[in-house]
Amino acid sequence: MKKVLVAGANGQTGRQIVSILKDKEGYEPVAMVRKETQIPYFEEQNISTVIGDLEKELSGVVKGMDEVVFAAGSGGDTSDQKTVDIDENGAKSLIDASVDSNVEKFVMLSSMGTDQPDSIPSLKQYLKSKKAADEYLKSSGLTYSIIKPGMLTNDEGKSEIQAKERLNKSGKIPRNDVAKVIVQSLNSDILKNKEVEILEGQTEIGLALTNI
Ligand code: NAP
């Protein structure tokens, strides 16, 4: 049974990741949450939890985990400082703790557009921070997959996507399908040390990912 720590488990995508993972054979999700009050939601589904904050010490949180998913984000707080604190420094600190704990694989929920941070002025710092975290992961020595979706929606997932290292277009994708891509990426042979842009599409997820 592989224990998978999901940072940002209480988020809109994170909740779907742990829920899908709970039913996947061979895996046990551990939801990293910030507050005690967030625990019952997961306990009611028989999902283990651990209290952890990306702005605090993380070594005890990652210890004993086989794989780690970063699905957290500064979310509603779009100040540049919060973005740097969570999307960049929080991610880096989780990567450091994962290296120290010899984690087998780290899956990063990144974003499309990190190569052109100036293209959307309101997202400039966010895209720069996501890029910095991605580059840090790539040079960490950890086995990784970097998943870069377009705009996230709450539409029903269709399990069909388009995926390529560079899609050279913009678009959207349901959070549910992003969660499925992340769960599939936990397999050590899928997207090993690769980054991939994903949008809604017409190719079944498993097939789309093996063709990268
Ligand atoms: P979300 O609902 O905003 O959830 C973010 C999660 O991060 C929340 O559960 C939050 O915890 C957690 N978090 C924030 N600060 C934290 C800290 N210091 N320590 C630990 N956890 C912390 O996220 P989402 O909308 O599902 O998106 C997931 C990620 O996808 C985003 O963060 C973003 O980087 C990426 N993305 C988003 C888009 C988009 O269109 N929105 C597009 C591409 C990529 P609490 O529940 O305690 O607040």
C-alpha 10: how far from chain center:
12
Task: Report the domain count for the chain.
Answer: 1
Taking the complete model, does pTM exceed 0.85, yes or no? yes
The pLDDT value recorded for residue 199 is 98
Query: Given pLDDT bands bounded at 50, 70 and 90, which one contains residue 161?
Result: very high
The percent of residues above 70 in pLDDT, for the chain, comes to 99
Closest atom of ligand 1 relative to the 76 alpha carbon: 3
What is the crossing angle of helices 91-100 and 124-138, to 10°? Answer: 10
State residue 212's pLDDT score: 87
Predicted confidence at residue 18, as pLDDT, reads 98
CATH number of residue 147's parent domain:
3.40.50.720
Q: Report in angstroms the alpha-carbon separations of 35 from 9, 40, 110, 124.
A: 12, 11, 24, 30
Q: What phi and psi, each to the nearest 5 degrees, are found at residue 64?
A: 85, -5
Tell me the pLDDT of the chain averaged across its residues: 96
- Spatial distance between the Cα atoms of 58 and 60, rounded to a whole number of angstroms: 6
Predicted pLDDT of residue 120:
87
26: containing domain: 2-210
Any ligand 1 atom below 6 A from CB of 14 = yes
User: Does 75 sit in the ligand 1 pocket, CB within 6 Å?
Assistant: yes
Cα–Cα distance between 187 and 204 in angstroms, integer?
17
Question: Does the beta carbon of 72 sit less than 6 angstroms from any atom of ligand 1?
Answer: yes
